[in-house]
Chains A and B, each alone.
Chain A
């Protein structure tokens, strides 16, 4: 029991049985190698066909090929069927088999546009080791953006640290944080390291885990709201990345902003890779895909 890793979120893959990729003209892939997680998305004629989401290992190229192989697993496709591969994310320059590397900002905007529709104007991406706020137009083109990649406060990694500290599986953190009679004050420390000591002190005072998590989720929401307000928010608003799956942060963030986020239609963690696959599709249409045998 002591060895359980509460931060460890579930890796997963999926492919759309209703699509026959062999009928498609363009098969394109996007691979997002983030600092914490890696995703691969396969699109067939601009339709989402298959994806995988897994933890990034210590080696970027290996994480990229693993994610791609897993997305292709159980489908009729192999890497030879791909017309174009776009890499994105923090490890994008380190994907040897990618035809092009595109920034995660551009890919998240493009992926967010596909995921949430053309009405999205502000995308908040809450990733493993960074947090970005991106303004985009109806085509998913980036207008302006702000980013925090210096500090773990407000990132998925910070939440992982807390899940581990409180021994609560990370996927249950959000729900559990609402099991409080009254919303506590947010933890006062911004820094994750100091927030950890603060939380330990609160537990010693007899606070239940749910209350400590409520205090941490609202501190994280507040931190992100400060970043959002620096750029300004325009509706519609959508959230991507792993933290988008944590209602404990999302609901408190919506409340503080006074704006509701659109409900996701896909796994929020694949937004970057999805954007990459869309760019790859566009490249093929322009005749810039890879030469196939």
Chain B
């Protein structure tokens, strides 16, 4: 049986193709403004990797904020459920899942079979999402891919007063003017977002293992700050941005038609 999981996120569309539970193809595409087109392109890329045609897909499940624009008349699945299924699949011991994407952050407590026990979501405010680190990277004039490594070079914790990404941007500029080392500012940025994400995770309950997924999980500075805030080590799966698409594809495989 061949299933497709399509995660139409605010920034990227991710697609995972499964044959009997094994990944046979993946694809991704910047969401941009033509969401529908991007979703089709990401699917085409995954199909190409799997050397398959769209007609070979038995069932498709779509998740993500733009899931209604996913191709192939899919079954829809919430991001929370997709994250839980995906995370427990890649790491059987996952009980608290932290998922930070471009414009949303969420924390999910799961049962051992990947069912959602409790969850919290922030989709209203950029301060708890990847958009925050992107805005701060811009202010620091550092590529967002490098801001994580930069913050690991920090030698001291400095506080960020602003919560709002717009105000924090001005604060970063002021700190730069005051000749604060960029590494310390980068750490302050990650401490700030980690603080907000962790307080959301505490609401649903921290049960080990804590697994962090979503594109922002690639940011080593953010992970470092989360671990410091939680006072425990967290796990980051390989290719954390595909975990929810994988969850969707797994759900497709386990759903009765």
- By secondary structure, the B interface counts as helix
A158 and B125: CB pair below 8 A? no
Residues of B near A157 (CB, < 8 A) are: 166-167, 170
- From known contacts A157-B166, A157-B167, A194-B131, infer whether A58 and B124 are also in contact, taking CB-CB under 8 Å: no
Asked whether A194 lies within 8 Å of B103 as measured between CB atoms, the reply is yes
Contact partner of A191 (CB less than 8 A), chosen from B33, B125, B174, is B125
User: Which of A's residues lie within 8 Å of B, judged by CB?
Assistant: 35, 58, 129, 150-152, 157-158, 161, 189-194, 197, 200-201, 204
Report chain B residues within 8 Å CB of A189.
Answer: 124
Find the B residue at minimum CB distance from A130.
Answer: B167
Nearest B residue (CB) for A202: B33
Q: How long is the Cα–Cα vector from A79 to B174 in the complex, in angstroms?
A: 29
- Provide the B152-193 mask, 1 if CB < 8 A to any CB of A, else 0: 000000000001111100100010011000000000000000
Is A152 within 8 A of B167, CB to CB?
yes
**Contact B131 A152, beta carbon cutoff 8 Å:** no
The smallest C-beta distance from A164 to any residue of chain B, in angstroms, reads: 11
A150 touching B164, Cβ below 8 Å:
yes
User: Bound complex: CA of A197 vs CA of B129, how far in Å?
Assistant: 14
Which residues of B come within 8 Å of A, CB atoms? Answer: 10, 33, 103, 124-126, 131-132, 135, 163-167, 170, 174, 177-178
Given contacts A58-B174, A58-B178, A201-B33, contact A192 B124 (CB under 8 A): no
Whether the pair B33, A193 counts as a contact (CB closer than 8 A) is no
In the bound complex, residues from chain A placing their C-beta under 8 Å from that of B163 are 150-151
A129–chain B nearest beta-carbon distance, Å: 6
B-side contacts of A150, CB under 8 Å? 163-164
The smallest beta-carbon distance between A187 and chain B, in angstroms, is 13
Whether A190 pairs with B166 at a CB distance below 8 angstroms is no
How many angstroms between the C-alpha atoms of A190 and B166 in the bound complex?
13
Query: With contacts A152-B166, A191-B126, A204-B33 known, what are 17 further pairs, Cβ within 8 A?
Result: A35-B170, A150-B163, A151-B164, A152-B164, A152-B167, A157-B167, A157-B170, A161-B166, A190-B124, A191-B124, A191-B125, A192-B126, A193-B132, A193-B135, A194-B126, A194-B131, A200-B33
- Residue pairs across A and B with Cβ atoms less than 8 A apart, 24 shown, are A35-B170, A129-B167, A150-B164, A151-B125, A151-B163, A152-B166, A152-B167, A157-B166, A158-B166, A189-B124, A190-B124, A190-B125, A191-B126, A191-B165, A192-B164, A192-B166, A193-B126, A193-B135, A193-B165, A194-B103, A194-B126, A194-B131, A197-B103, A200-B33
In the assembled complex, the CB of A148 is this many whole angstroms from the nearest CB of chain B, namely: 10
Expressed in whole angstroms, the minimum distance between the Cβ of A93 and any Cβ of chain B is 14
- With A151-B125, A201-B33 as contacts: A193 and B177 at CB distance below 8 Å: no
- In the bound complex, CA of A156 to CA of B225 (Å): 32
Q: Determine the chain A residues whose CB is within 8 A of the CB of B164 once the complex forms.
A: 150-152, 192
Kindly list the 4 A-B residue pairs having the minimum CB-CB distance in the complex, ordered from nearest.
Answer: A193-B126, A152-B166, A204-B33, A58-B177
- What is the CB-to-nearest-CB distance from A214 to chain B, in angstroms, rounded to a whole number? 21
A196 to chain B, nearest CB (A): 9
* Minimal beta-carbon separation of B97 from chain A (angstroms): 23
Is B131's CB under 8 angstroms from A193's CB? yes
With both chains docked as a complex, state the minimum distance between the C-beta of B177 and any C-beta of chain A, in angstroms. 5
With a CB–CB cut-off of 8 A, which chain B residues contact A158?
Answer: 166
Nearest Cβ on chain A to B7's Cβ, whole angstroms: 18
Chain B residues near A161: list those with CB within 8 A. Answer: 166
Q: Which residues in B have their C-beta under 8 angstroms from that of A190? A: 124-125
Given contacts A151-B125, A201-B33, A204-B33, contact A193 B166 (CB under 8 A): yes
Chain A minimum-CB-distance residue to B126: A193
CA distance A201 to B34 in the complex (A): 9
Measured between alpha carbons, how far is A201 from B135 in the docked complex, in Å?
A: 18
Determine how close the nearest CB of chain B comes to the CB of A62; give it in whole angstroms.
12
In whole angstroms, what is the CA distance A151 to B167 when docked?
A: 8
Residue of B nearest to A129 (CB): B167
Q: What's the minimum C-beta distance from B47 to chain A, rounded to whole angstroms?
A: 28
Residue of B nearest to A161 (CB): B166
Name the CB-closest residue of B to A203.
B33
> Measured between alpha carbons, how far is A197 from B166 in the docked complex, in Å?
14
List of A residues within 8 angstroms of B125 by Cβ: 151, 190-191
- Of chain A, the residue at the smallest CB distance from B103 is A194
Q: Give the distance to chain A from B170, nearest Cβ to Cβ, in Å.
A: 8
How many angstroms from the CA of A58 to the CA of B174 in the assembled complex? 6
- A191 CB → nearest B CB, Å: 5
Residue of B nearest to A57 (CB): B177
Please, which residues of chain A bring their CB within 8 A of the CB of B165?
152, 191-193
Kindly list chain A residues whose C-beta atoms are within 8 Å of the C-beta of B170.
Answer: 35, 157
Query: Which residues of B have CB within 8 Å of A191?
Result: 124-126, 165
Chain A residues, CB < 8 A from B135:
193
Residues of B within 8 A of A194 (CB): 103, 126, 131
Distance of B33 from chain A, by nearest CB (Å): 5
B104 CB to nearest A CB, Å: 10
A193-B129 Cα distance, complex, nearest whole Å: 11
